[in-house]
Structure 1
């Protein structure tokens, strides 16, 4: 462009688009006739409207519908925050004719579950401690790892502190726990290598007959087996032998063989897992950096029904349920 100007003394510029008059908005033909209103061209559909019910009964119905929907579906609709929180203390006083405190019925209702729902929970909590649902669904339940401690609690034990300890253990961690979590997959892989048995992940087991109990084995064996792994921190560098049994106090020598002590909390844990999951046997696996111990423990129905369920039911009704009621609902 500059060279052309220097040579001819003139600039040759094409007509720009803005120099042309716009014509796209001009009608193609002139409309002749009367002007029509938009509502006449597109009439709204005929709708029969009922007068708004502003009575107190209707408002209570709307409130109840929304709150019950949120409670039963766990959905958090914004409209629920329009209404104030319920006065649970007053509600409990209004229901003083009940056999149990009103809030304890709430605990029972929140734990109640069908077997189909229990199966869904088991399938949705395969990641165990890494799964948010796993933490939520076991929060108010007595889990198998505490069965032995609860059953053996005597009248001299501070039950209030025991309940606090069970609840606090949901988020408790220590070097031993961290060591167990880190090497549990290694132990299961070693178990598969030694036995040739495939172990699959499993989630939280809940039985609809005793919905206040829960169990999370480390793995399951299809169709009727479980795997429970222990990676003791103190004995992590040792061989598992009679000579080193002091490092493994949960083991005993019987007929010159090592086995899990039948009065140890681990045995209560395994029998509880088998009873709640309706399985027939469990491989008890102890893993160290230098050794692997295996014991196949079969389900003892008599032990489960007579030594585990009755004291746990008593603890739940007399201590755990009132504790949850006072802590969360009052």
Structure 2
């Protein structure tokens, strides 16, 4: 689309991208200066062995104009996505392949904090790679938490005499690249986050687990 305004969300995104680019440039310059002074006295590295393997080169094959067009096209697709349908179809959350696919297209509540807390020397490349290509974790702690989540939801309903509605991936209505997957919706303005710590699996209550220092008050 040419000679058209990117719209409200597009303008916000582009403004944020310019800020992020400037910060990334500062990080690279800072890292470059620190690295050169730190390793100045080290001997020069030899070339890699021919059988060592290929490293993916970072080749700039796209102009800024083409890059911006692809960004806007990507944002347009996100904005055109049926948010209601995605939420309904992903209510199984971690047991649903669509849930993984759609959340990889967005910044979610699970990784929003780590992105905001990135240090000046944190590698943007590694962070993006971990968000897009890291395998889905399978640990006994996560498995236990998933199994016990429905019991925790039912217990919450009994304790507070409320109805908790399960939900899928909820996409922000204004910023389609932001999303979250609450453990439940309570009424129109409340959500719950259910925690079932594996360390406290044999405790009779949260108080007992806390007294035995199996869980913290954080």
Is structure 2 residue 131 aligned with structure 1 residue 163?
no
Distance 1:97 1:158 in 2: 21
Distance 1:132 1:148 in 2: 24
Is structure 2 residue 75 aligned with structure 1 residue 108?
yes
Calculate the TM-score normalised by the size of structure 1. Answer: 0.42
State the Cα deviation string for residues 168-221 of structure 1 (Å, max 9, x = none). 456222121111111101111111121221111111100131111110111112
Is structure 2 residue 188 aligned with structure 1 residue 223?
yes
Distance 2:144 2:153 in 1: 14
Residue of structure 2 aligned with 1:152, choices 117, 120, 123:
117
Distance 1:170 1:203 in 2: 21
Give the C-alpha shift of residue 247 in structure 1.
3.2
Give the C-alpha shift of residue 153 in structure 1.
1.4
Q: Whose RCO is larger (CA < 8 A, sep 6+)?
A: 2
Listed as ranges, the matches of 1:18-29 within 5 Å are: none
Residue of structure 2 aligned with 1:243, choices 208, 211, 215:
211
Distance 1:169 1:217, change over 3 A: farther
Distance 1:227 1:170, change over 3 A: farther
Calculate the TM-score normalised by the size of structure 2. Answer: 0.61
SS in 2 for 1:167: helix
Residue matched to 1:188: 153
Q: How many pairs does the alignment contain? A: 155
Residue of structure 1 aligned with 2:164, choices 183, 192, 199:
199
Q: RMSD across aligned C-alpha pairs, in angstroms?
A: 2.5
Is structure 2 residue 125 aligned with structure 1 residue 125?
no
Distance 1:169 1:214 in 2: 19
Structure number, greater radius of gyration: 1
Residue matched to 2:100: 135
Give the C-alpha shift of residue 102 in structure 1.
4.4
Q: Do the aligned partners of 1:113 and 1:208 also contact (CA within 8 Å) in 2?
A: no
Distance 1:217 1:225, change over 3 A: same
Is structure 2 residue 143 aligned with structure 1 residue 178?
yes
Distance 2:64 2:130 in 1: 33
Distance 2:215 2:80 in 1: 38
Residue matched to 2:65: 98
State the Cα deviation string for residues 290-322 of structure 1 (Å, max 9, x = none). xxxxxxxxxxxxxxxxxxxxxxxxxxxxxxxxx
